[in-house]
């Protein structure tokens, strides 16, 4: 079986969820099928046989939105020509994108449908180029879903979302969960030396990890934190993808009486340091309004960190019974869970043990094997 993977979405510069998914799936698929063809815009650790597109190599100098639009045009033209020429049995996209007119059997991955759920004031940055990107998605997705041989959804929640939004046949959609790097995200006996670099003390902070976007609900998290009475601080770690959102969060903090000393924004944290931040935190808090999966939930649990997350979309599905679930639209609900962690040490111990066990169910190797099996099934159909 000849498999071709298009992971040109990957960037080694501050990679986030989908890019990490693409890298790990490509790495694990190449272990199963060393002859797999991998198209990329740069060299990828663990994928030595990646074919680098010279035409895309300069996109690292562009902003993410401009890079996406250029790559989208490349996909439908130059890349389609490559696929038609090489004729792989299966073409796989690790993102919710693909060829509108695929010349071979195509499988795409849908991570979430945020852009359909939230109006412009919530989902989109206030920039024309971002609006164009969203319009492009809305135009392409129905055609790509219809013409793909199979669709991978990263959760049952996302599968239901695809069916409800596009009317896609349920039999065409296959749920394959995300994984986590079990060598990196683990219980660390003494995270403090690394925490010193960030001016943090173990057990003295709540942690949020994720891109700075409105649907991540960070403003309500700050409001909830303001209702807790303790000496702990709130640490927000993540790449800023919406400057307006970050400014709104800072304004909410000031209006809520949360001083700069109690709120720390660390920007993007390197992968090597992130496990230490998880390990040292009192609890990881992800009160997002919507997630297609929520990889940080599993990463935190693997580190033995208690998790507080939303009772919406995929988050309960991923967290199982190992987390405290809250109403993300209720500041009081989020605050109550944070106070529970502060005031109930026994509950913390139980959550740590449950989280570690829960994380064991998610491995990139398992995800890749299920994808490979799906590719075989589709190629024979």
pLDDT digits (tens, 9 = 90+) for 61-99: 555 666 777 778 888 999 999 999 999 999 999 998 899
Angle between helices 156-166 and 128-147 (to 10 degrees): 90
Q: Which CATH superfamily is domain 3-179+363-380 in?
A: Glycogen Phosphorylase B; (3.40.50.2000)
| pLDDT of 380 | 93
Cβ-count burial 350-380 (b if 16+ within 10 Å, e if not): ebbebbbebbeebbbeebbbebbebbeebbe
pLDDT tens string 212-240: 999 999 999 999 999 998 889 999 999 88
Give the global pTM: 0.91
Which residue ranges in the chain fall short of pLDDT 50? 119-129
Q: Residues spanned by CATH 3.40.50.2000 within the chain? A: 3-179+363-380, 192-359
Which residues have CB under 8 Å from 282's CB, separation 6+?
Answer: 203, 204, 205, 206, 207, 232, 306, 341, 342, 348
Closest CA to 243 of 285, 211, 207, 217: 211
| pLDDT of 264 | 94
Overall fold of domain 192-359: Rossmann fold (3.40.50)
| pLDDT of 61 | 53
| pLDDT of 57 | 60
| pLDDT of 120 | 46
Which residues have CB under 8 Å from 41's CB, separation 6+?
Answer: 8, 10, 11, 52, 53, 56, 57, 59, 60, 71
Backbone angles phi, psi at 170, to 5 degrees: -60, -35
Q: What is the DSSP-derived secondary structure letter of residue 33?
A: -
> What does the alpha-carbon distance between residue 82 and residue 271 come to, in Å, rounded to a whole number?
33
| pLDDT of 230 | 82
Closest CA to 338 of 376, 378, 309, 318: 309
Region label for 71, one of left (φ > 0), alpha (ψ between -120 and 50) or beta (otherwise): alpha
Which residues have CB under 8 Å from 145's CB, separation 6+?
Answer: 108, 151, 162, 166, 168
Neighbouring C-alpha atoms within 13 Å toward the C-beta of 237: 25
| pLDDT of 54 | 65
């Amino acid at each position: 079986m000849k498999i071709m993977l298009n992971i040109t979405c990957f960037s080694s510069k501050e990679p986030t969820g989908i890019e990490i998914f693409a890298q790990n799936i490509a790495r694990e698929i190449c272990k199963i099928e060393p002859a797999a063809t991998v198209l990329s815009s740069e060299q990828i650790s663990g994928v030595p046989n990646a074919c680098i597109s010279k035409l895309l190599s300069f996109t690292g100098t562009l902003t993410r939105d401009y890079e996406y639009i250029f790559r989208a045009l490349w996909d439908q033209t130059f890349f389609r020509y490559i696929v038609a020429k090489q004729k792989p049995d299966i073409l796989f996209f690790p993102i919710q994108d693909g060829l509108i007119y695929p010349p071979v059997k195509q499988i795409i991955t849908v991570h979430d449908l945020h852009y359909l759920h939230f109006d412009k004031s919530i989902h989109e940055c206030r920039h024309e180029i971002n609006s164009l990107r969203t319009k492009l998605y809305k135009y392409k997705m129905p055609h790509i879903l219809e013409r793909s041989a199979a669709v991978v959804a990263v959760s049952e929640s996302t599968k239901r979302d695809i069916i409800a939004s596009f009317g896609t046949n349920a039999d065409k959609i296959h749920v394959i969960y995300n994984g986590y790097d079990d060598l990196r995200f683990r219980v660390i006996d003494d995270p403090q030396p690394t925490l010193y670099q960030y001016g943090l003390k173990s057990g003295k902070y709540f942690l949020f990890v994720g891109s700075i976007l409105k649907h991540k609900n960070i403003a309500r998290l700050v409001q909830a934190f303001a209702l807790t009475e303790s000496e702990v601080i709130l640490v927000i770690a993540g790449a800023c993808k919406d400057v307006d959102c970050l400014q709104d969060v800072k304004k909410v903090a000031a209006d809520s009486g949360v001083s700069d000393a109690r709120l720390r924004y660390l920007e993007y944290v390197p992968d090597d340091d992130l496990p230490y931040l998880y390990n040292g935190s009192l609890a990881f808090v992800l009160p997002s309004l919507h997630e297609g999966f929520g990889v940080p939930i599993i990463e935190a649990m693997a580190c033995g960190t208690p998790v507080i997350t939303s009772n919406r979309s995929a988050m309960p599905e991923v967290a199982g019974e190992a987390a405290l679930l809250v109403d993300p639209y209720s500041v009081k609900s989020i605050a109550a869970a944070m106070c529970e962690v502060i005031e109930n040490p026994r509950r913390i111990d139980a959550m740590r043990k449950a989280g570690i066990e829960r994380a064991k169910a998610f491995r990139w190797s398992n995800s890749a094997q299920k994808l490979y099996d799906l590719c075989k099934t589709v190629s024979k159909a």
